[in-house]
């Protein structure tokens, strides 16, 4: 049976990294997701994203520093809208453990 996420993955092949981070609930707003990229805190497949409009695709690995830790995740699906937390968790898988930030 196709889930909503599966159906979306078949129709959307790539998405802006700021949108994807917001849709997957890694940022509270799209503006904040864009700021993560501008601040140099986001990498796509080990390459620093230079613009919020950089594209992510299914299978890409995103590394980003949040205020609390460094997250490494694999894009499993792409959504056309912001999802609730349980559905958003289906958009990615954790790759390894998060690394705590020490201030």
The verdict on residue 87 lying in a domain is: yes
The verdict on residue 10 lying in a domain is: yes
Over residues 7-19, the pLDDT tens digits come to 544 567 999 999 9
The verdict on residue 12 lying in a domain is: yes
Q: Report strand pairing: 42-44 vs 55-57.
A: unpaired
Q: What is the pTM of this model?
A: 0.81
pLDDT at 24: 96
Q: Number of folded domains in the chain?
A: 1
Over residues 40-99, the pLDDT tens digits come to 999 999 999 999 999 999 999 999 987 788 999 999 999 999 999 999 999 999 997 666
CATH number assigned to the domain comprising residue 22: 3.10.290.10
The verdict on residue 102 lying in a domain is: no
Element (H, E) at 9: helix 4-11
Dihedral of the alpha carbons of 25, 8, 77, 47, in degrees to the nearest 10: -90
pLDDT at 14: 96
Which domain, by its residues, includes 50?
4-96
pLDDT at 90: 96
The verdict on residue 15 lying in a domain is: yes
The verdict on residue 91 lying in a domain is: yes
The verdict on residue 101 lying in a domain is: no
The verdict on residue 67 lying in a domain is: yes
pLDDT at 42: 97
Cα 17 to its chain centre, rounded Å, is: 6
Over residues 23-43, the pLDDT tens digits come to 999 999 999 999 999 999 999
What is the distance between the alpha carbons of residues 80 and 51, in angstroms, rounded to a whole number? 20
């Amino acid at each position: 049976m196709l889930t909503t996420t599966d159906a979306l993955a078949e129709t959307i092949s790539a998405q802006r990294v700021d949108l994807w981070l917001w849709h997957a609930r890694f940022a509270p707003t799209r503006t904040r997701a864009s700021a993560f990229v501008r601040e140099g805190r986001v990498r796509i497949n080990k390459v620093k994203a230079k613009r919020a409009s950089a594209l992510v695709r299914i299978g890409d690995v995103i590394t980003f520093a949040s205020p609390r830790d460094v997250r490494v995740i694999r894009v499993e699906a792409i959504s056309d809208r912001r999802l609730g937390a349980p559905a958003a968790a289906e958009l990615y898988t954790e790759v390894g453990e998060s690394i705590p930030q020490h201030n």
